[in-house]
Structures are given as structure tokens and as C-alpha cells.
Amino acid sequence: MSGKPVLHYFNARGRMECIRWLLAAAGVEFEEKLIQSPEDLEKLKKDGNLMFDQVPMVEIDGMKLAQTRAILNYIATKYDLYGKDMKERALIDMYSEGILDLTEMIIQLVICPPDQREAKTALAKDRTKNRYLPAFEKVLKSHGQDYLVGNRLTRVDIHLLELLLYVEEFDASLLTSFPLLKAFKSRISSLPNVKKFLQPGSQRKPAMDAKQIEEARKVFKF
Amino acid sequence: MAEKPLFHYDEARGRMESVRWLLAAAGVEYEEKFIHTNEDLEKLRSDGVLMFQQVPMVEVDGMKLVQTRAIMNYFSSKYNLYGKDMKERALIDMYSEGLADLNEMFILYPFDPPGVKEANIALMKEKATNRYFPAFEKVFESHGQDYLVGNKLSKADVHLVEMIYNMEELDTNILANFPLLQALKTRISDMPTIKKFLQPGSQRQPPVDEKSIQKTRKIFKF
């Protein structure tokens, strides 16, 4: 059985968006079963479909895979986006983890309590400008290649592009000092599968504002 | 060149302890260069050997690897603790990632203020007892084998046993209703290299106490 992967999540970016990006970049069509009510989520749990009672969950190749990284790792391996050997995978993992850390920091801003938002926003900007973006600018500069690892497209290029777009939404001025990252962003955005995902009408999800998230929290009680 | 891996971290469990457990299980010797002061950390940063200015960092096979997951995935691949194929790795990742969520709480709770600390201890016990341990007990019930995946030792088993020891520090009876997890704990603990790791004088780090909290705060300035 090899139907399309089925993604179970809310109609939101959250912890599923990086998976949508990776599948799209790999040219893999997928279906989404959006969780639209507490009953939908409760049914998934009661049916024993969620190993730790949590989403994201992806039905793929006979498995009901939970945990974002487990899902990403599987997709990347399956579609040859995880490097050619153990050492390339180590670099890809190191870079990807940094990207996921910063992505999480930026994503959390919209749900953080108002009294903390100013401090956390300042911290996120500082980390973006002084820690993470310099690190990746340096990687691109050191090898002068079009992709981060192994001179070919891997998952980490997709994760970094996704992050750069969030940084741009967050504060476009943060990117100005990083010419290689800007060129990287253009290059990866122009890949056919990625370009298609960036078009209106794709399965890419929009940003949610604080009010929408607050509504969702009330509905789902988290 | 096959030097021993060299660990850079403070003399504490923190985010390196799971790596220590993993190498113990693999029977791999390593060295540790402990960070004792903020100056030690700043030197590593200014030497440019910390990609994201953070530890853990492990020097291994010509790489300076940061990010705990990148380090653990590399060692797991290298020492055959990561399953025999893509699907086994997916299960191992799902199980390991579930445990990582609980482990994150365990790493951070000693630094919580009073009140918050007690609430987080209660939350960890509740999650272990009602979410994580039942899920893993069920895995063992369903396949009746000695290890979580593929009928052989993997990183998921090591992480689970480490977590069992951690949760038992919070509640010595926490495994009372999980006979198959008790059996796993015994089985893994009796492995020669783990048995040695569990003895005094090994590279295993002790529980966090007030003195080590103060030292960690001084090193990382928080």
C-alpha cells in the first residue's frame, strides 16, 4: 500500500508546517485531515492513533508516525534529502537543529504572554542577527556552493528557506547583512516544487495572529 | 585517525547526559573536557568551535558537532543503535522524541523557583505514569520482545531506561504498574558496560544539587 501520506493536524502552521514544506519540496503529494473540533482530536486519541496523544501525526507507508522530527527524518531518508553518508547526516542534523530552535523561538512569540513579549522579541531578534544567521552565512561562504551540505539539495536547505521566510515576516531588516543567505533564499525559492508551494492555493498555511490562536486554545483547551 | 570522542560540557548531567548513556551502552570510551567557568565557555565561543555558541559539543571523527540530537544520531548510526532500515529508524525516532519531551522537563526543573518546581515534578510524574510509560508498556506487550524495536538494542531502549532512572529519582515506586518496563530496566542495567556506568566512579553524573546549580548559573549566566 502506498497511497499519499495523510497529515493530521489543525489548519495551522504549528509543528506540521516544516513537514508540509519538506513533502512539497520533495514533490510528494499529500492529503490533510484537518482537526477542526475537540471531538476530532478526541477520536484520534481514542482510536489509538496517537502514540503519545499528540499531533502532528502522519500516516505513511503503513505507519502512524508521531513526533515532528521522527516524521521529518523518515521523509528526508525516503526521498534522498538526508545526505549521502553518516557524516553528511551529522552536519544536516546539526544545522537542522539550530534552524528548528530558532523557528520555535519565533513561532512562540505569537503565543507568549504580553508582559514577556517585548523581552522575548528582543531576544529572538538578537539570536537571529548575532547567532543563527551568521552561522549559516559562514557555511555558505566557506564552501561557496549553492546548497548547505554535499553540493546538492537536502532537507536542511528547505528548513532554512522556511526559516528565512519567517524571519522576513518577523523583521525584514534582519536579513540585510547576509547577502549569501538572500541569494540562497532566491535560489531555493525558484526550485520548481518550492515555487509551486509558494503560490497561492498551495497547502502552505498562513501566519495566525494572537487572537486566532487564543480562539483555538479555547476550543482545544491547551 | 581514531581518537576517542572528546566531550565539552560542564560537569553536570544537563544536555550531555543522554549522550553519556548512549556511549556507555555502545561500550565506547570517550574523554571529557569540563567547562568550569564562564571564561572556559567564552574561550570555546571565541575559538569559533561552537556553531551556535552553545554546548554540548563533541569532537569526533574530525567534526565539532553541536546540538544534542545531531550528536546522538551520529553515535547511534556509527554504533549500530539506530535500527536496520528506514522504518525501524522511524519508530526509534518516534519513541526517542517522545522521551525527549519528558527529558527536557527533567533537565530544567532543578532550576525552577520553589512552587514551580513542585508543580513540574508533579507534572512529570503524571506524564510518565499516564502517558509515556503506558505507551511503552504497550509496545512490549504487543511484540513480546526484549527490546523496543527490531528485537535488538537501540537508542530508544537506552533513552527509555535513562528516563526510568530519572523518574525513579522523583518517585521510587513509579514503575509499580509497569512490569515489562521493570524487566527492561533490569535487562539493560545488567549489560556489562551499563552496569559499569551505574557504578560509583563512572562518567555518569550525579543528580543536580544546589552547588551544581550555582555553578551552572555562573557558567551560562542565567
CATH assignment of the domain containing A40: 3.40.30.10
How is residue A43 written as a grid cell? 477520536
Does residue A104 belong to any structural domain of this protein? Answer: yes
| Cβ <8 Å between B90 and A65 | yes
Boundary residue ending a domain (A22, A56, A79)? A79
CATH of the domain at A177: 1.20.1050.10
Chain B neighbors of A78, CB-CB under 8 A:
86
| A90 and A74, same domain (yes or no) | no
**HSE (side-chain half, CA atoms, 13 Å) at B174:** 25
8 Å CB contact of A94 and B70: yes
With a cut of 90, say whether residue A118 has pLDDT above it.
Answer: no
Residue where a domain stops, chosen among A79, A95, A113: A79
For residue range A181-196, what is the model confidence (pLDDT) as tens digits?
999 999 999 999 999 8
Residue that is written with C-alpha cell 535560489 in the block? A187
pLDDT value, residue A1: 45
Query: pLDDT for B150-200, tens place per residue?
Result: 998 999 999 999 999 999 999 999 999 999 999 999 999 999 999 989 989
Query: Hey, is the C-beta of A123 within 8 angstroms of any chain B C-beta?
Result: no
Check A93 against B135: CB less than 8 A apart.
no
> What integer is the mean pLDDT of B199-203?
93
Q: Are the C-beta atoms of residues A33 and A8 closer than 8 Å to each other?
A: yes
> Which member of A86, A89, A135 has the closest CB to residue B52?
A135
Q: Tell me the residues of B at the A interface, defined by beta carbons under 8 Å apart.
A: 51-53, 61, 63, 65-70, 73-74, 77-78, 86-87, 89-91, 93-98, 101, 131-132, 135
Total domains in chain A come to 2
Three-state SS letters, chain A: CCCCCEEEECCCCCCCHHHHHHHHHCCCCCEEEECCCHHHHHHHHHCCCCCCCCCCEEEECCEEEECHHHHHHHHHHHCCCCCCCHHHHHHHHHHHHHHHHHHHHHHHHCCCCHHHHHHHHHHHHHHHHHHHHHHHHHHHHHHCCCCCCCCCCCHHHHHHHHHHHHHHHHCHHHHCCCHHHHHHHHHHHCCHHHHHHCCCCCCCCCCCCHHHHHHHHHHHCC
Domain for residue A101, yes or no?
A: yes
Is A1 within the bounds of a domain?
no
CA distance B181 to B168: 12
What pLDDT is recorded for position A211? Answer: 74
- Distance, in Å, from the CA atom of A165 to the CA atom of A204, rounded to the nearest integer, reads 12
Residues A165 and A102 in one domain: yes
Task: Report if residue A56 sits inside a domain.
Answer: yes
- Domain termination residue (choose one: A79, A103, A137): A79
For the sheet with B6-10, list strands across it. B31-35, B6-10, B57-60, B63-66
Q: Do B66 and A132 touch (CB under 8 A)?
A: no
Q: Are residues A68 and A92 located together in one domain of the fold? A: no
Predicted confidence at residue A218, as pLDDT, reads 74
Q: Indicate the annotated binding residues of B for glutathione.
A: 9, 45, 54-55, 67-68
Domain range for A124: 86-190
Each residue of B92-125: pLDDT tens digit? 999 999 999 999 999 999 999 999 999 999 999 9
What percent of chain B shows pLDDT beyond 70? 99
Confidence at residue B1, expressed as pLDDT on a 0 to 100 scale: 46
Q: Which residues contact B204 (CB under 8 A, 6 or more apart)?
A: B17, B20, B21, B24, B197, B198
Please tell me the predicted confidence (pLDDT) of residue B3: 73
Among A78-87, A105-114, A209-218, B91-100, whose mean pLDDT is lowest?
A209-218
pLDDT at A212: 80
**Environment class of A39 (CB within 10 Å of its CB; exposed 0-12, middle 13-18, buried 19+):** exposed
Q: Which domains does chain B have, with CATH numbers?
A: 6-79+197-210 (3.40.30.10), 86-191 (1.20.1050.10)
Q: How far is A52 from chain B (nearest CA, A)?
A: 6
The kind and range of the H/E element at B41 are: helix B38-46
CB contact under 8 A, B97 and A69: yes
Q: Is residue A177 part of a domain?
A: yes
* Shared domain check, A104 and A123: yes
Same domain, A91 and A130: yes
**pLDDT (0 to 100) of residue B199:** 87
CA atoms of A31 and A59, how far apart (whole Å): 10
Residue A82 CB coordination number (10 Å): 22
Classify residue B134 by its DSSP letter.
Answer: H
Asked if the structure places residue A207 within a domain, the reply is: no
Judgement on whether residues A106 and A64 belong to the same structural domain of the protein: no
Pair (A168, A117) in one structural domain:
yes
Which residue type sits at B28?
V
In a domain, A217, yes or no: no
Q: A89 at the B interface (CB within 8 A)? A: yes
The pLDDT mean for chain A works out to 93
Phi then psi for residue A81, to 5 deg, are -115, 25
Arithmetic mean of pLDDT over chain B: 94
Q: How many CB atoms lie within 10 A of CB B50?
A: 19
Inside any domain, residue A195: no
CB contact under 8 A, A101 and B52: yes
A164 and A71 within one domain: no
CA torsion, ordered B34, B35, B41, B45, to nearest 10 deg: 0
Nearest residue to A103 via CA among A7, A32, A6, A19: A19
A2 pLDDT band (50/70/90 cuts)?
A: low
pLDDT tens-digit readout, A10-19: 899 998 999 9
A182 and A100 belong to one structural domain: yes
Taken in order B67, B70, B71, B72, the sign of the CA dihedral is positive
Which spans in B47-178 are helix H?
Answer: 68-78, 86-108, 116-127, 133-143, 155-170
Query: In this structure, are A21 and A109 located in the same domain?
Result: no
| Spatial separation of the C-alpha atoms in residues B78 and B22, rounded to whole Å | 11
**Mean pLDDT, residues B128-147:** 95
Residues A10 and A103 in one domain: no
Specify binding-site residues of A for glutathione: 9, 45, 54-55, 67-68
Query: Using the beta-carbon criterion (under 8 Å), do B70 and A90 form an inter-chain contact?
Result: yes
The letter for the amino acid at B183 is: A
Say whether both A65 and A139 belong to one domain: no
d(CA A103, CA B201): 40
Q: Is the pLDDT of residue A133 over 90?
A: yes
